[in-house]
Amino acid sequence: MDALIHQFFNLDIMARALPLVLQGLQMTLLLCLVVIPLGLAGGLLFALASLSGSRTVRWGMIVAIDFFRAVPPLVLLIFVYSGLPFAGIRLSPIAAVALAFFLNTSSYYGEIYRAGIESVGRGQWDAARSTGLSAFQTLTSVVLPQAVRNVLPDLVSNTVEVVKLTSIASVVALPEMLYSADMARSVTFNASPIVLAAAIYLVMLWPVVRLISRLERRMAS
């Protein structure tokens, strides 16, 4: 039992690792600020393209979305980070992370938006257009507000997945929270710094996970 506490909950080591882990947390938050808005915006574009009137655009987009949902994000990230330089495209770690996660998260957000937009009845479009609203106005002030409300739990839940996803940026040596914690782990030969990082992830995400469960239950009833 003592060995267990010493190995996983060593407060001494946690205290020493804390400044480094907090530095990593800043990078994690920065990554979230880049990746989440990019994904939300890209997802909307993906969704609109996959609902396009042109059959070519529609099918092309569906293939692209399924493609990016089939490739594990870590594979995409490593491909962008260490594969593209062979083709002469050299990206900094943060640019590689932003590009790889943009393609991955936009595909997931895109599917959610699409389900939301499809859940809004066709009559809403026709009614809005017949009152003189343009197609753009119909989309932004009539369809999207209802669509987003209908899929809110899924949007929030995917956002949690994106925050968790930022942890794999550690693999390309981007000094986010898990990378910093793992550095501290390799210096101290002790897992406590990673447990500390885990605790910070829990503080950030647990309330949101609870919220999702409640949102989902409310939608179901």
Partner 1 sequence: MNAFLETFFKPNLIAQYLPSILKGVLVTIEIAVGVVITGLILGLALAVVRAFQIKAVNALIVVLVDMFRALPPLVIVLIVYFGLPNVGINIPSFAVLWLVLSLVLAAFAEEIFWAGILSVPKGQWEAARSTGFNFLGTLGYIVLPQAVRLTVPPITNRTVAITKNTALGTVIGVPEILSQATTAQSFSGSATPLMMGAIAYIVLFVPVVALGRYIETRFAWRRN
Catalog residues that contact partner 1 under the rule CB under 8 A: 3-4, 7-8, 66-67, 69-76, 78-79, 82-84, 86-87, 119, 150, 160-161, 164-168, 170-171, 178, 182, 185, 189-191, 194-195, 197-198, 201-202, 205-206, 208-210, 213, 216-217, 219-220
185 Cβ partners below 8 Å, 6+ apart?
A: 191, 192, 193, 194
Cβ-based nearer residue to partner 1, 38 or 178: 178
Asked whether the beta carbons of 27 and 166 are under 8 A apart, the reply is: no
Asked whether the beta carbons of 154 and 112 are under 8 A apart, the reply is: yes
Asked whether the beta carbons of 154 and 115 are under 8 A apart, the reply is: yes
Residue type (1 letter), 198: A
Cβ-based nearer residue to partner 1, 33 or 135: 33
Asked whether the beta carbons of 4 and 192 are under 8 A apart, the reply is: no
Q: How far is the CB of 41 from partner 1 (least distance, A)?
A: 22
Asked whether the beta carbons of 20 and 184 are under 8 A apart, the reply is: yes
Cβ-based nearer residue to partner 1, 95 or 135: 95
Cβ-based nearer residue to partner 1, 34 or 74: 74
Q: How far is the CB of 4 from partner 1 (least distance, A)?
A: 5
Taking CA 18 as the corner, what is the angle to CA 17 and CA 20, rounded to the nearest 5 degrees? 70
Number of helical H runs and strand E runs in the chain: 11, 0
Q: How far is the CB of 201 from partner 1 (least distance, A)?
A: 6
Q: How far is the CB of 5 from partner 1 (least distance, A)?
A: 10
Cβ-based nearer residue to partner 1, 40 or 205: 205
Q: How far is the CB of 148 from partner 1 (least distance, A)?
A: 13
